[in-house]
Every structure is written in C-alpha cells, then in structure tokens.
Structure 1
C-alpha cells in the first residue's frame, strides 16, 4: 500500500544557532512537536540523522533518506553559524493523518506563529507525494517535488493538502479543506 511522503522547507529569519530567545524558542518548540507528531496515528517515520548535533543539516549522515538538499531559492548559509533553515521529511499512512498532525495541537500553534521565525516567501513551504510501500523518500526527492510544485502547481506527483491526489493520481478533497470539500475519496 502506498504511503504519503511530506517534505517541508522554510527559511529562518536568523540562523538556527542564534542564541536569541526567539530562536531558542523555535528549537525547543520543534523538539516538542517532533515528539508529539511521532506518536500521531498514521505517522510512520521521519528523516533523522544518525549523528544528530554534530553539524548542520548539510554535514549529517541521513542514511537511507539520502544527502541533505535544499531548494534553489535557499541563499543563506550552510555552516553551523550561518544555516538559517528548517526542513522535515516524513512518511505517513495517508493524507488525513498527515493533515491532522500538521493542523492540530502543538504544530498548529507553531504554524500560527510561523512568521515570528520564518521569512515570508512566495515559494511553497511543503509538498506531498505518494511512494510505494518500502520506499524511503530522499531529501533530493523532496526538493525536486517542491520545485516542481512551485513551477507547475499541484500534480499527482507533487501536491498540497488543498489540491491533493489519490495514490492512483485522481484529484481528491479532504474534509475541511478546499471548496466544497466533504471527504477523502
């Protein structure tokens, strides 16, 4: 059975290593959100570095998730002192589970404050796509899908919750999302 891959990417206002209270708050909030989301129904896995805490996203060993990559529009640093980004890559059993995890609880609270931490941009900040059972998406997959979404809009291989598709490529709606939405079909 296919699984939903979800890649998120945001450019921070200041480097993640910034000792300022607002940046520290983001780091602390992120850790709490990851703990909560990992217990959410439908959550399967997320990219976690084997050597966490020993450099930036760019320096870490992500195992089967591949080498870390960023969209072409990321123009800030890549060192511990200068990296100003947050990215996630995760696997879910279905659209509804991922949507519920993103738009409820601690993550919803953080989304309400996202512009305290993240730059406003015209680029999409997340993308979904289906992968076959047993397939681990890579960071490069996520970047490619996000860039495709930016350039071409939602398609069966790169979409948003608002303009989503079934694993077979049929447009679908999730209850509570989009015009005249009534349920996942």
Structure 2
C-alpha cells in the first residue's frame, strides 16, 4: 500500500545558533512538537540523523533518508553558525493523519506563531507525494517535489493539503479539512 511523504521547509529569521529569545522560543517548542507528532496515529517514520551523530543538517548521516538538501532558493548559511532553516521529512499512512498532526495541538499553536520565527515565503512550505511501501524518500526527493510544486502547482507529482491527490493521481479531498488548511 502506498505511503504519503511529507517534506516541510522554512527559512528562519535568524540562525539556529542565535541566542535571541525568539530563536530560543522556537527551539524550546520544537522538541515537544516532534515528539508529539511522532506518536500521532498514522505517523510511520521521519528523517532522523544516525544515533550519536553531532553536527547540523549538512554534516549529519541521515541513513536511508539520504544526504541533506535544501531548495535552490535557500540563500542563507550552511555552517553550524549560519544555518537558518527548519526542515522535516516524514512518512504517513495518508493525508488525513498528517493533516491532523500538522493543523491541531502543539503544532497548530506553533503554526500560529510562524511569522515570529520564519521569513515570509514566496514558495510553498510543504509538499506531499505518494511513495511505494518499500521506498524511503530522501531529502533530495523532498526538495525536488517542493521545487516542482513551486514551479508547476499542485499535481500528482507534488501537492499540498489544500489540493491533494490520491495514490492513483486523482484529485482528492481531505474529509473535514478546510480549503485554507485550517478547520
């Protein structure tokens, strides 16, 4: 049975290592949010660095999730001192569980504050696509899908919660989801 891949990407207003209260607030919330999402019904897996790895994003071993990559429009740093991004890559049983995890609870509270932490984007913040049961999507896959979504709009190749497709490529609807991604 196909699984749903979800890639998210955002550019932070300041580097991850910035000690400013806003950056600290973002990081203080992130750990709890990721723990909660990983226990959400329908969550299958998410990209994690190899156990014990030290470094930031580009220097880490992500195993089957591949080498860390970012969209072409990301223009900030790639060193531990200059990286200013937040990215996730995960697998889900379908769009409804992923939607519920993103648009409810702690993550919804964080989304309500996204403009405090993230630059306003002219690019999509997430891309969804279906993968066969035996495939682990890579960071490069996520970047490619997000860039395709930006360039061509929602299609079976890359879509959003607001404009989903089923595994066969037919436009779909997430039951109970509002068109703007909120309920």
Q: Is the 8 A contact 1:2 1:132 kept in 2?
A: yes
1:123-134 mapped onto 2 (5 Å cutoff): 123-134=123-134
Partner deviation per Cα, 1:36-87 (whole Å, 9 max, x = no partner): 0011000000000015662110000000000000000000000111000000
Q: Is the 8 A contact 1:51 1:60 kept in 2?
A: no
Whole-Å Cα distance in 2 between the matches of residues 149 and 48 of structure 1? 24
Whole-Å Cα distance in 1 between the matches of residues 53 and 85 of structure 2? 15
The answer as to 2:62 corresponding to 1:91 is: no
* 1:183 equivalent in structure 2: none
Structure 1: where are the runs of 5+ without partners? Answer: 180-185
1:18-167 mapped onto 2 (5 Å cutoff): 18-51=18-51, 54-167=54-167
3-state secondary structure, aligned to 1:150: helix
Q: Is the 8 A contact 1:51 1:61 kept in 2?
A: no
Whole-Å Cα distance in 2 between the matches of residues 53 and 71 of structure 1? 24
3-state secondary structure, aligned to 1:64: helix
Q: CA RMSD in A?
A: 1.2
- Between the two proteins, the alignment pairs up a number of residues equal to 179
TM-score (norm 1): 0.94
* 1:170 equivalent in structure 2: 170
